[in-house]
Structure 1
Amino acid sequence: MAQAQVTPTRMELTRLKKKLGTAVRGHKLLKDKRDELMRQFLDLIKENMELRLKVEEGIKAANTNFVVAKATMSEETMHTALMAPKQEVTLIADQKNVMSVEIPSFEYRTRTADANDIYSYGFAYTSSDLDGAVKSLADVFPDMLKLAEIEKSCQLMAAEIEKTRRRVNALEHVVIPETRESIKYITMKLDEAERSTQIRLMKVKDMMLEEEHHYSEREGGFPVEIETAN
């Protein structure tokens, strides 16, 4: 793969080494981010389970009181008692950043601070069970809001964890190994080219020395005279 896609040049080798350094640092940062997201995610899951049980108990108590109140009151009386609510709630939705994840943050404000304003009816013609039902819903409302916030946060963090996990795996199993393989391939090719160049230079040097030696023999040699006997 490296041989088909990489040009074995020193410039490409320098570029790949920089890419490898960036990939290794990015891999470490993403692993740290994934681990921290997992830690916070598990904390939220634990809080979510505890809060859900509490909310379910509160809703169950409210439903039980409503059933008893409906059995002891006429339907018209109950509708009249709950027709015009006295208290008013304003929801304030915001966001907070947790490890680059924008999770929701919910707050609420009531129109008045009086706790008795949750009852929109008089107590003379209504059942105490209806009071208990309304009080149970008022008590469980903050927990319901917190539960919605936590469950949405869990969904967003789970999606970010999966995205980060895919990036970590891509760097760890694809980008970094391929880059190292390409660096190894280019280094091997450059070493081969350097050895070939050295061999050629040595051969050229030997040829030049040999030619110089033959030239010196031709220039400095003396003819040999042979005498014959008469």
Structure 2
Amino acid sequence: MAVLQVNPTRMELSKLKKRLATSTRGHKLLKDKRDDLMKKFLELIRENMDLRVQLEEKMAQVYAGFVVAGAAMEDASLQEALMLPQRQVYASVKTKNVMSVNVPDFQFTDTGDEGRDIYPYGFAFTSGELDASVDALQEVLPLMLKLAQVEKTTQLLAEEIEKTRRRVNALEYVQIPTLQETIKSITMKLDENERSNLARLMKIKDMMIAQQRQALEE
């Protein structure tokens, strides 16, 4: 493992120990964040599957109703019945924070009068299958918006999970081991210097004692 190119001093050693403590705390926090993101991601995957099944069932019901209505009614009558919608709907996009990730929040607005039916035609010259299809369509759009919101949120969380995973790996396999190895190297160097200084002091002391003895003998 490589070590950082720093001066082997006690000040640098103190700085590196602080960096190691900060990196260790950051590593733990990022791992916790990654685990929470994964938990939320899996919940959204299950919700996405449920919404997709519901939407496919509704769309199948709508298509089947329109096919039967098209067979029972003339094309001109069917097009005339659906030419002028009874209501207008709008979708607005806001954002919300999910696990520190800004995700879309789709809002569905219906401009129709409350209590007013959704059928843009009279019932005298239309089939019951057309009524069922139009009624089912009323539930399709909210499902589509919800599904789009969940899928986009899932995509953004997946990207954040990947970013967090890379950061965790960088700390776990590169930065923390490098700091630990550098601290170990500096500690060994300082210990070696202390032993050298101690040996030098002992040698000087012995020389001074020898000089004192020699002076006394003279």
Deviations along 1:140-168, one digit per CA (max 9) or x if unpaired, are 22222111111111001011011101111
AA paired with 1:99?
M
TM-score, normalization by structure 2: 0.95
Aligned residue number for residue 55 of structure 2:
55
Aligned residue number for residue 122 of structure 1:
122
AA paired with 1:160?
E
Separation in structure 1 between the aligned mates of residue 112 and residue 68 of structure 2, nearest angstrom? 29
Q: CA deviation at 1:9?
A: 1.4
Secondary structure of the corresponding residue to residue 5 of structure 1? coil
Secondary structure of the corresponding residue to residue 86 of structure 2? coil
Separation in structure 1 between the aligned mates of residue 71 and residue 7 of structure 2, nearest angstrom? 85
Separation in structure 2 between the aligned mates of residue 211 and residue 23 of structure 1, nearest angstrom? 54
Deviations along 1:168-211, one digit per CA (max 9) or x if unpaired, are 11111111011000000000000001110110011011101101
With over 3 angstroms needed to count, the CA separation of the structure-2 counterparts of 1:109 and 1:102, relative to structure 1, is: same
1:90 equivalent to 2:86? Answer no
1:198 equivalent to 2:201? Answer no
Q: CA deviation at 1:112?
A: 2.4
1:170 equivalent to 2:170? Answer yes
With over 3 angstroms needed to count, the CA separation of the structure-2 counterparts of 1:115 and 1:157, relative to structure 1, is: farther
Aligned residue number for residue 209 of structure 2:
209
Same amino acid, percent of matched pairs: 55
Aligned residue number for residue 22 of structure 2:
22
Deviations along 1:105-124, one digit per CA (max 9) or x if unpaired, are 11212112435442112222
Residue range with higher mean Cα deviation, 110-119 or 66-75:
110-119
Aligned positions of 1:39-118 closer than 5 A? 39-114=39-114, 116-118=116-118
Please, which runs of 5 or more residues in structure 1 have no aligned partner?
A: 219-230
Q: How many matched pairs?
A: 217
TM-score, normalization by structure 1: 0.90
Residue range with higher mean Cα deviation, 67-76 or 29-38:
67-76
Aligned residue number for residue 156 of structure 2:
156
1:140 equivalent to 2:128? Answer no
Separation in structure 1 between the aligned mates of residue 67 and residue 82 of structure 2, nearest angstrom? 15
Secondary structure of the corresponding residue to residue 91 of structure 2? strand
AA paired with 1:71?
A
Separation in structure 2 between the aligned mates of residue 68 and residue 156 of structure 1, nearest angstrom? 41
Aligned residue number for residue 31 of structure 1:
31
Secondary structure of the corresponding residue to residue 132 of structure 2? helix
Please, which runs of 5 or more residues in structure 2 have no aligned partner?
A: none
Task: Report which of the two structures shows the higher radius of gyration computed on alpha carbons.
Answer: 1
Separation in structure 1 between the aligned mates of residue 64 and residue 196 of structure 2, nearest angstrom? 91
